[in-house]
Structure 1
Amino acid sequence: MDALLFNFFEEDERIETLDEYDDDKFNSALDFFEAIDDKKSFEELDEILKNGSDVNSVNFETPLFYVISKKMNLEMIKYLCDRNANLFFTNNCNENALHYALKFNLSIDIIQFLISKKIDINAQNKETVLHIELDKSKPNIEIIKLLIESGANLDLLDKNTPLHLALIKNVSDEIIKLLLSKVKNFDIKNEEDYLSLSIRNNSLEHVEMILQFQTDLEYNNKRSYLTFAIFSGCSIEIIEKLIEKGMDINAEDFGDFPVLLACKHEEYKKLLDLLFNKGIDDIKISNNENILHLLINDHPNDPLIDELLDKGFDINQQDVIGRTILHVELQNSRNIERIKKLIKLGADLNLQDKRTPFHYLCFQPLDLEIFNLFIENGANISITDINSPLIYILMKNSDIELIKRSINEFMKTKEYQESEEKSWTKLLSTVISNKDTTPEIIQFFVDTGADLSDQYYYGESIICQAIRAGQNISVIKKLLSFNLELNPKEYSSPSPIYVAIEQCPENNDLIKLLIEAGCDVNNRNVNNNISFFDLIKKLLFLFSMVTLVLKKL
């Protein structure tokens, strides 16, 4: 029972231990705590003390700690101290009465009274007295002033000094200014120092105050205050102040440089102007990217890009995924004049990030002029990612002159020479899948040597694929004009008439056209051995059954 009610602490000559209590003293101690809890008068408490209770008895805490935890008034605390309550007692968390009073938010007059009793203001458990107050949601500046004026050490650490903690929590500006005005050593560091924390808080006034006193201006071995400020998105004024203090404008920061980090800044134009005026080395590379990669990616319409192109950058610098400046341009603004300028400056049109710049150019419809510009400057039309640029051209364009030029260029390549038949099959299949294809394009392919009798998409004929692709009647007519086989004699390909009724049964003009061209309505489909007439019969039967059901509803 004794062990449950009493808490042992390190031996202290000023406090009696549990073994020194007899049962009468033990019961008297409990009586004293109960009397305090019942708010007995001082006279009544004196009577209990006379009967054997001890003002320093320990029941998990002393009466003084108990009174503080119950947030009782100054008079009660004075009463205990006048009767020799032990102000030097610390609990098992190494907290003294001042720690406890701050922890339980007691009034400033109680804090002042405890300090006046010469309690150790710089005693530490896990925290100093200043840390306890600063760690509150609303620190009391008057208490902080009192603690500092009473000798609280601003350099004591619990990993952080009080000023570190104030900056980390970004407490009120008034408190931070107070601490800054009282701190003597500005070079104390933990993971961060006073300057880096003020930069993180984007406070120009705090930065200016710290720069007056901090002598160590090396952030750490891999970072600089300037790059950190730019990366953190600090105001231009803070960045300018750091430069004025002599920060290296070309300092590396984990592989990054101020000029590159500036491209991500909210006020990047002003910041770049500032850095350029200070003579920054703008031809820096990080992650294999230079400033042009970043500006074109994040600010593709900025005129600064064109100004920088004349400064001698490596136009063919590839970033970590292989993109050159031209790749990035084609993925973003596709500014024709800038593309022309990059080519004129020597952009390699066949460097790959798996795709060449020519691939990215051909992902969207393009005009003949820009196509010719790429071809004339050495772009290879047959380099493949999954497909070659030529395939993308045929998917996206219906300009006959562009297609003629691209096919003629393709026919010069090694790929065409080595696999002519396979190449034509894939190219013509691509053309047929493009709904903007014209009869003139079909004629050009035939004139160039394409064999329309080949099997194309999943073994189907070219006419079946055209019907599935939803080609217009004019293209279907053009294909039919080449006397294609419309009635496969073996079940190696579906019948065009079956594909038509399956894909677009409402298109009477198409079905009529196919029948007039010679499609056999009795030809059976490869998949389920059903003829066109059998299919019609089934559809009519289903229609009649649905009608009958609807009439009965």
Structure 2
Amino acid sequence: GLSVNESSPYTSDRLLVVAMGRKKFDIAKWLIEKGADVNHRGSNRNALFYAVVHNQFPILKLMVQHGGSIKKYFDGSGGLMVEAIHVRNLEMLKYIYEQGGRLEEKSYGSNSLLHIAAQMAALDISKWLIQKGMDVNITNVEGSRPLDLALSTKDNRSFREEIKIPKEDYEKLILYLKSVGAEIGGEHLSVKAQNKWYSDLKTAAKSGNLSELKKLTERNDFPFSPNTVYVAFKAGHAEAARYLIHKYKLHSHYILRTIIDFKQMYLLPKLIEYGASLKLNNSLDSSTNLVSYAIDNSPDISIIKTLVKAGVSVNERSYDDRTGETPLHFAVMRMADYEIVQYLIQQGANPDLKANTIYGDNLSPGEIIADILKNGVYRYERRVELKKYEKEHLLRIKKLLEGK
């Protein structure tokens, strides 16, 4: 009588995710063939992710045959293309690409697919990516290029031993990258030159010298600091600030995360004024509400207020427009401060909206609290027994949601 889509009694993950995570591949195949939901996102990863991470190409294809969606897969900044490169499986990478994977996908550290291939000494994958049009000198947010990562990883013996890739593989890859025009970037450029570039850039931003800014930023050798934008608009040079925002795509996922994580909220109003998006894009197909992201990562009431005043919706869903969690769901699941929940409701957050969550599908924030109180268990990232003060906190939040 047990459903193939039943959740594990120990985590919020369904049986298929648990089986794949624990490498019980025969059980996983049986569950898939019996109709298990292969797209369900558990507390951490979904089954598609584990199929790629464990290098199980046949199971990945089986999942796709049973409705698995590469396009809808979401995992923060990372994704299935990234993981296929980590296991150095070119055929699986090509398949994921054919099923909707994107070459623009990046890792959590903002490395492009070519950066990752270089780090993993994946020569055949590097060749395929370059044939697909990837820039051999593409830079990450630190200014490093694929050749930088290949060189530094080659010299990192402990890391090479950990990932079990011989030094010779890196030497072959480095020769190939150089043969197609690869150059070193920020990681291998002198500190003195980098400091001079920053100084010159700041001076140009402060004076509003747009032609000098363009000249300096055309190099693109060094990682850009968003504070340079602040210098420009503080000095009243709107065109200079606007140029830098568009040049470095400061409406992107990375800069919005940085602003929230490091509480640089003073940058937000001008970024929005000059075209920054209020969408926090985690992948090409899904996004996180900025208020939800702040609650999940930097639950500070002043940040929440700044975002809401800037126009971020308190009812917008994350990941999925129909079933994704709202900021109130995140506030409850993260046990955010009472004043944060109170403020969200004052700003029109709807406590009756339902979402698919780690506590179950189609639940309102109040129903999540009811589940936690009933079972005496708070599970977010891991299963934790509910403490007395947490129970009292949730009871206060419950009354607030009920309008009492």
**TM-score bracket for the superposition, by shorter chain length:** 0.3 to 0.5
Larger of the two Rg values belongs to structure:
1
Quick check: which one's strand share is greater? Answer: 2
TM-score normalised by length of structure 1: 0.29
User: Greater relative contact order (Cα 8 A, min sep 6): structure 1 or 2?
Assistant: 2
